[in-house]
């Protein structure tokens, strides 16, 4: 991750500000407010602003005055109840805003979560930085043979070297052409405004998807957890999971009680269908149950057995 002197100074200036407020604050999140937390090779995540905390969830659920109860255990019990029974509105009362720098191909995956307010860096107005995402060798993998949107075995040796060289050379070549079409050269973020060339909105079309972009992404607590439940999962693409892991840490700093309930009921829990519930009941009773008489498909059966660590029963 590379920040300019101006960006570093801006972050320090923001963090040095002392503001008096009557609103609730999250002390641990305040410690990293505005800080650029590195992700991947050139990316970062910054918490820019937030509204509410755990007590705001409790206050909303009870439609009460003030900051919830005096006993943390009581607030914790209510938040767990809300999470356990899939209540949503109280969690929507808290919001958070991130500044994210990420590769374009991850941005296009991320934007599928249509539950946030997004404002992206404009390549029609400004020139994109000369920065590209290049995977580390341990993240270079072949296409999975049984998962159309997943990775298989890790590439090694000359094959891995060739792929990295192709990614780098393609990105550098297209950026060079981008500069030529603009008739402008990116040099320390100083652009010759007198230069004339192809319109920026057209020149950008030639850039590779591993070029970095930036945006502000604001969402509520409920939809943040929905995002993290999918993107911090071990089956999610590594690159977006890297961002989700950092966001998980900010969630913990912001709403620690909600975070623990989220880990318990969403991340660590599992959903079971009516037929699946019947299978589990029979297993507990010691009755004979298998794929053929379970009423489940092979995939459903294996997912259920995997969720309850019945590895010997996976087919």
Residues with a catalytic annotation lie at 231
For residue 290, report the phi and psi dihedrals to the nearest 5 degrees: -145, 180
Distance CA 40, CA 144 (A): 22
Hey, CA dihedral for 298, 302, 303, 304, is it positive or negative? Answer: positive
Chain centroid to Cα 17, Å, comes to 28
What stretches of 72-211 adopt beta strand conformation (E)? 95-103, 117-120, 141-143, 151-154
DSSP calls for 184-248: ---BTTB--TT---S-HHHHGGGS-TTBEEEEEEEEEHHHHHHHHHHHSSTTS-HHHHHHHHHHH
Measured in residues, the chain has a length of 315
Contact assessment for residue 218 and residue 206, using Cβ atoms and an 8 Å cutoff: no
Contact assessment for residue 183 and residue 196, using Cβ atoms and an 8 Å cutoff: yes
Distance CA 116, CA 248 (A): 17
Distance CA 95, CA 105 (A): 26
Contact assessment for residue 128 and residue 179, using Cβ atoms and an 8 Å cutoff: no
What's the Cα-to-Cα distance from 211 to each of 73, 112, 130, 205, 314, rounded to whole Å?
A: 47, 19, 8, 11, 42
Hey, CA dihedral for 80, 82, 85, 89, is it positive or negative? Answer: negative
């Amino acid at each position: 991750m590379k920040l300019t002197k101006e960006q570093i100074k801006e972050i320090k200036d923001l963090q040095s500000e002392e503001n008096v407020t009557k609103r609730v604050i999250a002390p641990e999140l305040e410690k990293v407010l505005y800080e650029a937390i590195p992700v991947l090779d050139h990316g970062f995540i910054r918490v820019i602003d937030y509204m509410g905390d755990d007590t705001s969830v409790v206050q909303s659920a009870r439609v009460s005055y003030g900051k919830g109860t005096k006993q943390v255990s009581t607030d914790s019990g209510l938040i767990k109840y809300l999470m356990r029974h899939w209540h949503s509105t109280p969690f929507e009362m808290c919001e958070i805003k991130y500044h994210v720098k990420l590769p374009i191909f991850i941005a296009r995956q991320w934007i599928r979560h249509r539950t946030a307010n997004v404002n992206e860096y404009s390549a029609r107005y400004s020139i994109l930085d000369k920065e590209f995402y290049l995977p580390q060798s341990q993240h270079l993998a072949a296409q999975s043979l049984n998962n159309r949107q997943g990775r298989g075995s890790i590439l090694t040796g000359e094959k891995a070297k060739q792929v990295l060289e192709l990614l780098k050379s393609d990105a550098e070549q297209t950026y060079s052409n981008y500069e030529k079409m603009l008739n402008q050269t990116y040099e320390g973020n100083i652009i010759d405004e007198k230069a004339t060339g192809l319109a920026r909105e057209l020149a950008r079309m030639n850039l590779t998807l591993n070029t970095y972009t930036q945006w502000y992404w604001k969402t509520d607590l409920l939809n943040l957890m929905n995002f993290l439940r999918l993107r911090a999962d071990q089956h999610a693409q590594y690159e977006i999971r890297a961002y989700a892991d950092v966001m998980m840490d900010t969630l913990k700093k912001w709403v620690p009680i909600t975070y623990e309930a989220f880990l318990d009921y969403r991340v660590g829990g599992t959903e079971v269908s009516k037929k699946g519930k019947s299978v589990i009941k029979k297993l507990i009773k010691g009755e004979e149950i298998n794929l053929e008489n379970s009423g489940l498909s092979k995939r459903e059966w294996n997912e259920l057995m995997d969720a309850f660590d019945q590895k010997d029963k996976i087919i």
